[in-house]
Amino acid sequence: MLNIKQRQQNLKTYNYYYKGEIDGIEGPKTKNAYQNFQKDYGLVVDGIYGLNTNNKLLLCVKDLQNILNKYGYNLEIDGIIGNKTLTAIKDFQSRNGLNIDGIVGNNTFNKLKQNKEVSSGSYKCKYFDDSDFKCPCCGLNLQQDEIKQIADEIRDHFGRPTIITSGTRCEKHNKEVGGASNSRHLIGKAIDVYVTGINGQDLLKYCKILVENKKARYTYYISGNACHIDVY
Domain ranges of the chain: 4-116, 130-230
Closest CA to 154 of 191, 123, 124: 191
**pLDDT given for residue 121 in this prediction:** 58
Give me the mean pLDDT over the 201-215 stretch: 96
Residues in a beta bridge with 218: 230
pLDDT at 173 over 70: yes
pLDDT value of residue 53: 96
Residue 147, CA atoms < 13 Å, CB-side half-sphere: 30
Read off the pLDDT of residues 117-171 as tens digits, 9 standing for 90 and up: 444 557 889 999 988 999 898 888 888 889 999 999 999 999 999 999 999 988 8
Q: Give me the residues paired with residue 190 across strands.
A: 230
- Total count of residues recorded for the chain: 232
Mean pLDDT taken over the chain: 91
Which of 11, 21, 106, 23 lies closest to 61 in space, CA to CA? 11
Alpha carbon distance 142, 107 (integer Å) = 13
CATH topology of domain 130-230: Muramoyl-pentapeptide Carboxypeptidase; domain 2 (3.30.1380)
Largest CA distance in the chain: 57
Distance CA 36, CA 149 (A): 25
CA distance 98 to 107: 8
For residues 113 and 54, give the distance between their C-alpha atoms in angstroms, rounded to a whole number.
Answer: 24
Buried b (16+ CB within 10 A) or exposed e, 73-109: bebeeebbbeebbeebbbebbeeeebeeebbbbbbbb
pLDDT in tens, 67-118: 888 788 888 989 999 999 999 999 999 988 999 999 999 889 888 877 554 4
Instruction: Give the integer Cα–Cα distance in Å for 208 and 166.
Output: 19
Whole-model pTM over 0.85: no
Q: What is the pLDDT of residue 112?
A: 86
pLDDT band at 24 (very low <50, low <70, confident <90, very high): very high
Q: For residue 20, name the pLDDT band (cuts at 50, 70, 90).
A: very high
